């Protein structure tokens, strides 16, 4: 039972950090046009960082499952936001901003997929560079 309590505590702390980062980011990327740039930045940066976290940082620094859960589900889970994405999309739809809606949906869905691929590539590239450095030192 103690381990589950610790997991919830770490998730709580991670979610606190992620939600604060999300709020700060929304203030930085606020637009006067009503276009949800802040949500796009949060979701795309999260889609980039998550594969890097899972595929590189976890192995490179031998991070525990608790740390990975805290960073991925806690921090990134509260930083990125599907509910805000759908609310923003509905707001654009409801206000008749069809061009913004199409741009928003395209950037978020296709862009999210592409930056996730980029995050995986970034992780593989860093792992390869680490391997080359390690092998170079052995010679």
Element (H, E) at 15: helix 2-28
User: Where on the phi/psi map is residue 30: left (φ > 0), alpha (ψ -120 to 50), or beta?
Assistant: beta
Q: Binding site annotation covers 86?
A: no
* CA–CA dist 63, 72 (Å, integer): 12
CA dist 36 and 78 (Å) reads: 17
Residue 34 known to bind ligand: no
DSSP-derived 3-state class of residue 80 = coil
Binding residues: 77, 80
Binding residues for Na(+): 77, 80
């Amino acid at each position: 039972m103690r381990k589950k309590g610790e997991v919830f505590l770490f998730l709580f702390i991670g979610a606190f950090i992620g939600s604060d980062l999300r709020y700060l980011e929304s203030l930085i990327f606020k637009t006067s046009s009503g276009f949800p740039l802040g949500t796009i930045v949060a979701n795309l940066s999260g889609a980039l960082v998550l594969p890097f976290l899972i595929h590189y940082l976890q192995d490179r620094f031998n991070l525990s499952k608790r740390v990975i859960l805290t960073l991925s589900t806690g921090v990134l889970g509260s930083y990125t936001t599907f509910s805000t994405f759908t609310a923003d999309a509905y707001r654009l739809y409801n206000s008749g901003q069809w061009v913004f809606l199409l741009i928003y949906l395209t950037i978020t869905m296709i862009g999210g997929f592409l930056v996730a691929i980029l995050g995986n590539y970034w992780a593989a590239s860093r792992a390869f560079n680490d391997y080359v450095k390690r092998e170079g030192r052995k010679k």
